[in-house]
Amino acid sequence: MAITGQGMHHLNIRKRIHEKHEEFPSPVKKIRYLDRIIYIVGILGPVMSLPQILKIFLLKNADGVSFLTYSTLTVFSCVWLWYGMVHKEKPIIVTNILWIISEIVIVVGVLIYGNGFL
């Protein structure tokens, strides 16, 4: 399939956008601070699912936890991971690997101790 003028235009726009990316680490102190915070948030978010995981596996009860919701969230996290890998965005990659792990553990818990797929 030949690249049309429209396709070449798209490549040109992406190249210009790519060349305008900010430096990392940023020379701006506030942005460097935000860069650090995003890693903390990216790790703490999935860690906050630990109480749910502990409840399921310690009490051996997954009532009220939706298999459909957590399996869908797992798929969405996989798409976000793919996006992060394509764009080489480390915070997105790290966060979504952690989310995928915690969501899969919850899905397994629902399958073992739950009352159905909804």
Fold that domain 27-113 belongs to in CATH: Monooxygenase (1.20.1280)
Q: How confident is residue 73, by pLDDT bands cut at 50, 70 and 90?
A: very high
Spatial CA neighbour of 50 closest among 95, 4, 105, 97: 105
Asked if 40 and 31 touch (Cβ cutoff 8 Å), the reply is no
Q: How confident is residue 115, by pLDDT bands cut at 50, 70 and 90?
A: confident
**Has residue 7 got a pLDDT over 60?**
no
pLDDT digits (tens, 9 = 90+) for 11-54: 555 555 566 667 767 888 999 899 889 999 999 999 999 999 99
Determine if the pTM surpasses 0.85: no
The residue ranges of every structural domain in the chain are 27-113
Would you state the structure tokens that stand for residue 32, as one six-digit string?
Answer: 């460097």
Asked if 42 and 94 touch (Cβ cutoff 8 Å), the reply is yes
